[in-house]
Amino acid sequence: MGRTFRDWQPEASWLFPPSPRDWLPEEHLVYFLLDVTAQIDISPIVDDYTSADGNTTGQPPFHPRMMLLLLLYAYTQGVFSSRKIMARCATDAAFRIIVGEDIPNFRRISDFRLRHLKHLEPLFVEVLMLCRAAGLLKVGRLSLDGTKVKANASRNKAMSYDRMGPESERLQQEINALLAKADGADAADDEQFGDLSGDEIPEELKRREGRLAKILEAKAALEEAARAKAQAHVDAMEAEGREHRTNPDEAVPKPKDQRNFTDPESKIMKTSNKGFDQCGNAQAVANEQQIIIAADVTDQANDVRQTVPMVNQTIDNLDAAGVTENVGAFTADAGYFSEENMLAVDNDDRIDDAFIATGRQKHNDPVPETPKGRPPKDLTAKQKMARRNRTQKGQAEYARRKVIIEPVFGQIKAGLGFRTFLLRSLEKMKGEWNLVCIVHNLLKLFRSGALTTS
């Protein structure tokens, strides 16, 4: 007798449960996000749909809470493309629970994300408040680090300042040659036909003139940035009462300074694979529960200027989330050290201890001895920090850094699959990184099993 199998009728009609709550297991992530987003204030998004004169006519848009939930859930699944989100709405039960029968077009999804990124900034703190209620916002140890995230721009579409001059001259010569050719063609055709249609040569001129205009615009932008940087240096020197010889009007870019034609606000940066690419430098501060407390994106490859802004944002977000305890220990790697940064962190009343590496230690170098006794009085700020890091407490605190902040970037890049910004410009990259960090925190909150929803 043959093996008996379960009944299977792929053509048979069958009924879904009447409530979407019964489609998936009750502990499913989509139901958790439904409950969380029900508590979130979306009034800034709603207000944005109303014009200045109060006109609310026209085709009704999709409900903003539904669109927000759709974005959040899609990002938790590593689905960032608006086209892929729309496709999943048709095939995935969890996505269908969110949108029902009315699936938004990918343009609607993309436009919603682009239009309301700025309105999602307060959501970051609201999620932190939920984490605090769940006991996940502990501040005994915090760690700061950054990671390079590829920008939505090709590195082959960038040009250095020293190439812009010769390239613009070459294009101008080609344009002049094409114009001369066109004049000759005009004269010959006028003599033979009386009129010239002139379709081919103007197209060639259009391409070259467009490229020339972009190069000249990029060249002017680099020169303006160089003058602005010099002016900022002059202002800082004068504020300190120090003399200077810098003339901002004479400042010029460095020969290797680059500007990308696709996204001028992205910068060429060294990546972890020892190559170079157009990137944004994404920053984050996290605690031992790997909750991201502060997040930002900068176009500066070096991290040293991010220490104070990230510390300030951390304290502001903790205050906004209702956390009044002091930060027990704040750690960062050598890229964040400077004497000014050390003094700023040490003088912050909300941080008890700071441990910022002052240099990189090679694997084969001997471990420095643990200092004993009182520190000498003639130590520089860098020597004081280096000595503090070598103490037993310093070594113990800094050792925790590798299990606090570094796994966060691994979870975002490898777990969620977020390795490239979809949006262009620094402001939009900041908004997109903020959204990714919100999703990371929501996943931590969900997996903790804490009951934070009503």
The 10s digit of each residue's pLDDT in 15-34 is: 667 777 788 998 999 999 99
pLDDT of 147 above 90: yes
Q: Which residues pair with 150 in a beta bridge?
A: 279, 420
The H helix count followed by the E strand count for the chain is 15, 8
Q: Name the nearest CA neighbour of 95 among 70, 78, 76.
A: 70
Cα maximum dimension of the chain: 100
SS3 (DSSP) at 193: coil
Average pLDDT score over residue span 274-283 = 88
pLDDT of amino acid 262: 77
Instruction: Flag whether pLDDT at 215 surpasses 90.
Output: no
Phi, psi dihedrals of residue 378, rounded to the nearest 5°: -95, 15
Mean pLDDT in residue range 178-185: 66
First to last CA, the chain: 56
- Chain segment 233-277, per-residue pLDDT in tens: 777 777 777 877 777 777 777 777 777 767 788 888 888 766 888
Average pLDDT of the residues in 106-111:
94
* Residue 198 confidence (pLDDT): 46
Q: In a 3-state reduction of DSSP, which class is residue 328? A: strand
- 125-139, 184-198, 347-361, 422-436: which range is least confident on average? 184-198
Cα gap 205→202, rounded to integer Å: 5
pLDDT band at 196 (very low <50, low <70, confident <90, very high): very low
320 band by pLDDT with thresholds 50, 70 and 90: very high
How is the chain split into domains, by residue range? Answer: 20-116, 124-154+266-443, 156-260
Nearest to 62 by CA among 81, 79, 85: 85
At 86 the pLDDT is: 96
Q: Are 129 and 291 in contact (CB under 8 A)?
A: no
**pLDDT for position 453:** 43
Which two structure tokens, joined as six digits, stand for 387? 């000595």
Cα 163 to chain center, whole Å?
30
pLDDT tens per residue, range 384-419: 888 898 888 998 999 999 999 999 999 999 999 999
pLDDT of residue 285 exceeding 80, the answer is yes
Report the alpha-carbon distance of residue 199 to residue 245 in Å, rounded. 55
Q: Please, where are the H alpha helices in 134-247? A: 161-192, 200-239
Three-state secondary structure call for residue 160: strand
Confidence class of residue 346 from pLDDT cuts 50, 70 and 90?
A: very high
Beta bridge partners of 258: 160
**Helix, strand, coil % (nearest 5) of the chain?**
50, 10, 35
Closest to 250 in 3D by CA, of 269, 286, 226, 272 = 226
